[in-house]
């Protein structure tokens, strides 16, 4: 693989794209006649919007956030984002803000235990959010491209990269329709994204397609059958109900909505990985990172026992059924799919 960042293809038909610079910068597809804008330096290849907000509204919010916080630090920018989102309860906004500010440390700790570095090539961070994992990888000398469906959060990610002195590609797109050719990356990584995707099987299939020979997948996701409260809404038992009941149950228990989350069980995750063609799949209970222990309160006292059980043959597989988080490592499919 070359030192240049992977080039773009049309996410709809996978034909090569033409870059049109200028004040109306964009990428054009001559085959299916689609046009993809570049906004604040971020190309937008989405075929459908973020479930929470429309395409234009998302771009407008990202642009307004950039204007309001020009030259500000990351915390100021994140707090301004939540000030622009008044429907979010103050305590939730504070929790989400701390999550963003702690994210680099979390990403660094996760990378340290994620196995050997891939030799050469580019990484793809699926659901990069505010680019914490991209920054952590860059500090280890690894080149990475960050993608996310939420344009407004990529504007925050851009600020994080600027403050870190990094010029790293950020791309707005759907993880189910990646704008990259087959075999473009040596490793696909993802932290806490799969549970937010409408079609996790398609995300895994696309991840396999863009991996080159000898590449690998490493991801971390919330377990549907966690024995702890569901971390996004703080409600216990959501995953044990039929999915069609989850939103009504969460509204009853907390007043929050639960329309755009789809947690996977270990069995569902193994099935989707197999269908995507991944080999040598290792799936188990995720390690409890140091930064996570700090937020776990009284539960953190059980961390040493949890780690012993997690590493024990047999016990570890049993533990994965009720663990809060699942960890996956897998080798790329034997042959990339069509470009």
First to last CA, the chain: 16
Question: Would residue 126 count as lying in a domain?
Answer: yes
264 close to 285: Cβ distance less than 8 angstroms = no
| Tens digits of residue pLDDT in 234-273 | 899 999 999 999 999 999 999 888 988 999 999 999 999 9
d(CA 152, CA 68): 13
Q: How many domains does the chain have?
A: 1
140 inside domain? yes
What is the per-residue pLDDT for 63?
97
pLDDT for res 232: 87
* Of 282, 126, 128, 135, residue with least CA distance to 209: 126
pLDDT band at 339 (very low <50, low <70, confident <90, very high): very low
Place of tokens 């610079």: 21
238-266 burial, b for 16+ CB within 10 Å, e for fewer? Answer: bbeeeeeebbebbeebeeeebeebbbbbb
Cα 163 from Cα 337, distance rounded (Å): 37
Task: Compute, in degrees rounded to 10, the torsion defined by CA atoms 82, 85, 86, 88.
Answer: -70
- Element (H or E) spanning 310, and its range? helix 303-311
Helix, strand, coil shares of the chain as percentages rounded to 5?
40, 20, 40
- In order of 15, 39, 162, 172, the CA distances from 20 in angstroms are 16, 13, 25, 17
Q: Which domain holds residue 128?
A: 51-224+263-287+324-331
Q: Is 139 exposed, middle or buried (0-12, 13-18, 19+ CB in 10 A)?
A: middle
Lowest mean pLDDT among 2-16, 116-130, 175-189, 194-208: 116-130
Question: What is the maximal distance between C-alpha atoms in the chain?
Answer: 59
Cα 186 off chain centre by:
17
CATH number of the domain to which 182 belongs: 3.40.50.150
Contact 130/103 with Cβ under 8 angstroms?
A: yes
What is the pTM assigned to this prediction?
A: 0.93
302 token code pair: 């059980």
Report if residue 231 sits inside a domain: no
Residue 309 lies in a domain: no
Question: Considering the domain boundaries, does residue 158 fall inside one?
Answer: yes
Residue 18, in any domain of the structure = no
Average pLDDT over residues 71-77: 97
For 62, phi and psi rounded to 5 degrees? -65, -40
User: What are φ and ψ of residue 63, in 5° steps?
Assistant: -65, -40
Predicted pLDDT of residue 3:
74
Q: DSSP letters along 268-296, please?
A: HHHHHHHHTT-EEEEEEEPP--HHHHTTS
Whether residue 4 is contained in a domain is answered as no
| pLDDT confidence band for 1 (50 / 70 / 90) | very low
| Strand order, beta sheet including 185-191 | 170-172, 144-148, 123-126, 185-191, 211-222, 325-331, 279-285
**What pLDDT, on the 0 to 100 scale, is given for residue 2?**
53
Confirm whether 299 is domain-assigned: no
- Chain CA centroid to CA 112, Å: 18
For the record, the structure tokens of 215 come out as 């590449």
The span from the CA of 107 to the CA of 132, in Å, is 6
């Amino acid at each position: 693989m070359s030192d240049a960042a992977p080039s773009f293809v049309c996410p709809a038909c996978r034909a090569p794209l033409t870059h049109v610079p200028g004040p109306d910068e964009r990428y054009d597809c001559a085959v299916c006649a689609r046009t993809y804008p570049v906004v604040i330096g971020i190309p937008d290849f989405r075929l459908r919007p973020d479930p929470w907000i429309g395409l234009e509204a998302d771009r407008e919010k990202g642009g307004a956030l950039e204007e309001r916080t020009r030259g500000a630090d990351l915390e100021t920018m994140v707090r301004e984002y939540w000030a622009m989102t008044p429907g979010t309860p103050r305590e939730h906004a504070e929790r989400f803000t701390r999550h963003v500010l702690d994210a680099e440390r979390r990403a660094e700790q996760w990378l340290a235990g994620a196995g050997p570095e891939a030799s050469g090539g580019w990484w793809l961070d699926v659901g990069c959010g505010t680019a914490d994992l991209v920054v952590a990888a860059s500090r280890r000398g690894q080149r990475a491209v960050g993608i996310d469906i939420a344009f407004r959060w990529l504007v925050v990610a851009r600020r994080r990269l600027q403050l870190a002195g990094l010029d790293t590609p950020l791309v707005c797109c759907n993880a189910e329709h990646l704008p990259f050719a087959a075999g473009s990356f040596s490793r696909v990584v993802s932290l806490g994204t799969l549970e937010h995707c409408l079609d996790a099987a398609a995300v895994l299939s696309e991840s396999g397609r863009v991996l080159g020979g000898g590449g690998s997948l490493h991801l971390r996701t919330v377990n549907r059958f966690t024995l702890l409260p569901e971390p996004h809404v703080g409600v216990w038992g959501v995953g044990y109900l039929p999915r069609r009941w989850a939103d009504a149950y969460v509204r009853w228990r907390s007043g929050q909505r639960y329309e755009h989350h789809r947690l996977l069980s270990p069995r569902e995750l193994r099935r989707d990985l197999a269908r995507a063609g991944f080999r040598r799949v290792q799936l188990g209970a995720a390690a409890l990172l140091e930064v996570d222990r700090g937020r776990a309160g009284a539960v953190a006292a059980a961390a040493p026992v949890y780690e012993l059980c997690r590493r024990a043959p047999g016990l570890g597989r049993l533990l994965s059924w009720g663990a809060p988080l699942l960890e996956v490592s897998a080798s790329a499919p034997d042959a990339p799919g069509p470009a």
